[in-house]
């Protein structure tokens, strides 16, 4: 197993544990990892109480990363985010910030209601997010930040805030859990975690990030350019900066899947770089054929939701079925069998006998064999 594959496998364990018990938040968990490897930031738009912060906390714990979280408000002071001024130095006429335990020393950060921050906070954040440098008074230091997740109920409308929001390359829009899954929400929310969560290291992100930076993108540039042209024809305009940076997402998706060279299966992150929910929906329709080959074993849900493609759906079903077969995860016999039956039904609904991938066909046979035993 190569170094990329080993790091990807450790990250896989963290993501599987992070999404356990979180309903309809698989794509969010996966995009946090994608953003961290790409060296970009993620904006989560959705109402309060939709497990945004919980998803980030779980990944930070799994990576044993230094973590900072804060809920911003109209009256939040810069010192609450970046640290207080060192009063001892101030008496000497030196303005230095004590950053211990604050955002400038975090590897993973979550900032809720991010657009409520003052101008002073957002301006300082801008440099920190873009350059990974914190500057304030006489203080100037490199920051270890891998990814910042910003959250808000809605996208900002003013030009100034919109320009700040544009620094978050990835966007995901979340809604409360759907009615049909309320029983699952109640059950999983009440259950306790099973066993010790698996661990990875922040250094695993660094290995994958370096591999992504060195990736050969020559095989995907033509397809990416074609996708951009299709979006333009549909009235979806992306800034030059976003177009260029999407390549980092494509490379990161490939290495997270254990592959050093991106291919046509890795174009799907483009959808999440589109700024609005409506435009993302249009992009899924416009790019359906181009993204049909999308797949990613580690980021299976995010790739499926972006591409609506059969290969991505197969990867997600394979992962779900294998997890169920590996252990019940605290489920009783009846619930476990019902979920296995649901996977089998979805396989039958989505794939004909002649077009089902071999691994998925094998999984279906195992599930059917179990369900036949009373």
CATH of the domain at 75: 3.40.50.300
Helix then strand then coil, in percent of the chain rounded to 5, is 55, 10, 35
Q: Where are the beta strands (DSSP E) in 161-243?
A: 170-173
Which pLDDT value is given to residue 94?
74
Residue 240 neighbours by CB distance under 10 Å:
7
Q: Which of 179, 205, 231 is the last residue before a domain boundary? A: 179
Measured CA to CA, the distance from residue 259 to residue 5 in angstroms comes to 8
Radius of gyration, alpha carbons of the chain: 22
Q: Provide the 3-class DSSP secondary structure of residue 172.
A: strand
In a domain, 154, yes or no: yes
Q: Which of 273, 269, 274, 272 is nearest to 291 (CA)?
A: 269
Cβ within 8 Å of residue 266, ≥6 positions away? 220, 250, 251, 253, 254, 257, 294, 296
Q: Which helix (H) or strand (E) holds 42?
A: strand 42-45
Q: Which of 179, 194, 209 is the last residue before a domain boundary? A: 179
- pLDDT per position as a tens digit, 128-170: 999 999 988 778 889 999 999 999 999 988 878 888 898 899 9
Q: Residue 33 belongs to what domain range?
A: 3-179
Q: Which of 179, 201, 222 is the last residue before a domain boundary? A: 179
In a domain, 341, yes or no: yes
In a domain, 222, yes or no: no
The number of distinct structural domains making up the chain is 2
In a domain, 155, yes or no: yes
Q: Are residues 315 and 169 in the same domain?
A: no
Which pLDDT value is given to residue 86?
75
In a domain, 131, yes or no: yes
In a domain, 254, yes or no: no
Q: Give pLDDT < 50 ranges for the chain.
A: 190
Which pLDDT value is given to residue 209?
96
Q: Which long-range contacts (CB under 8 A, 24 or more apart) does 347-351 make?
A: 347/317, 350/310, 350/313, 350/314, 350/317, 351/310, 351/314
Could you tell me the two tokens for 263? Answer: 């291919």
- pLDDT per position as a tens digit, 309-329: 677 778 888 888 888 888 766
Which pLDDT value is given to residue 116?
94
Residue 92 neighbours by CB distance under 10 Å:
8
Q: Which of 274, 277, 217 is nearest to 243 (CA)?
A: 274
Measured CA to CA, the distance from residue 66 to residue 102 in angstroms comes to 10
Q: Which helix (H) or strand (E) holds 108?
A: strand 108-112
In a domain, 248, yes or no: no
Q: Which helix (H) or strand (E) holds 233?
A: helix 221-233
In a domain, 212, yes or no: no
* φ, ψ at 271 (rounded to 5°): -60, -40
Measured CA to CA, the distance from residue 246 to residue 264 in angstroms comes to 14
Q: Which of 272, 274, 317, 280 is nearest to 295 (CA)?
A: 317
β-sheet bridge partners, residue 189: none
Measured CA to CA, the distance from residue 260 to residue 215 in angstroms comes to 6
Strand order in the sheet with 147-152: 67-71, 108-112, 147-152, 42-45, 170-173
Instruction: Write a three-state SS string for 87-101.
Output: HHHHCCCCCCECCCC
Q: What is the DSSP letter of 331?
A: -
Q: Provide the 3-class DSSP secondary structure of residue 298.
A: coil
């Amino acid at each position: 197993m190569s170094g990329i594959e080993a790091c990807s496998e450790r990250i896989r364990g963290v993501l599987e544990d992070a999404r356990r018990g979180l309903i309809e938040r698989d794509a969010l968990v996966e995009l946090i990892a994608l953003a961290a490897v790409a060296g970009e930031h993620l904006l989560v738009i959705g109402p309060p109480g939709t497990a945004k912060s919980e998803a980030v906390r779980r990944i930070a714990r799994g990576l044993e990363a230094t973590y900072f979280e804060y809920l911003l408000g109209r009256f939040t002071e810069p010192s609450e985010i970046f640290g207080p001024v060192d009063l001892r130095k101030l008496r000497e006429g030196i303005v230095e910030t004590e950053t211990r335990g604050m955002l400038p020393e975090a590897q993973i950060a979550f900032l809720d209601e991010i657009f409520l921050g003052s101008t002073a906070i957002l301006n300082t954040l801008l440099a920190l997010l873009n350059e990974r440098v914190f500057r304030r008074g006489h203080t100037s230091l490199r920051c270890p930040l891998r990814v910042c997740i910003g959250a808000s109920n809605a996208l900002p409308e003013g030009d100034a805030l919109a320009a700040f929001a544009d620094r978050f390359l990835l966007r995901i829009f979340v809604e409360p859990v759907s009615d049909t899954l309320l029983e699952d929400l109640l059950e999983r929310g009440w259950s306790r975690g099973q066993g010790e969560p698996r661990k990875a290291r922040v250094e695993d992100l660094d290995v994958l990030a370096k591999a992504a930076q060195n990736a050969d993108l020559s095989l995907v540039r033509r397809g990416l350019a074609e996708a951009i042209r299709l979006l333009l024809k549909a009235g979806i305009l992306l800034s030059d900066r976003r177009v260029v940076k999407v390549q980092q997402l494509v490379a990161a998706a490939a290495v997270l899947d254990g592959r050093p060279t991106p291919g046509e299966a890795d174009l799907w992150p483009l959808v999440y770089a589109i700024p609005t929910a409506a435009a993302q929906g249009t992009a899924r329709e416009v790019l359906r054929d181009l993204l049909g080959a999308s797949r990613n074993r580690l980021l299976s849900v995010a790739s499926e939701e972006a591409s609506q493609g059969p290969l991505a759906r197969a990867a997600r079903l394979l992962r779900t079925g294998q997890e169920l077969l590996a252990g019940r995860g605290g489920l009783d016999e009846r619930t476990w069998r019902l979920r296995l039956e649901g996977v089998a039904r979805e396989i039958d609904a989505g794939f004909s006998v002649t077009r089902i991938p071999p691994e998925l066909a094998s999984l279906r046979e195992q599930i059917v064999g179990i369900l036949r035993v009373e």
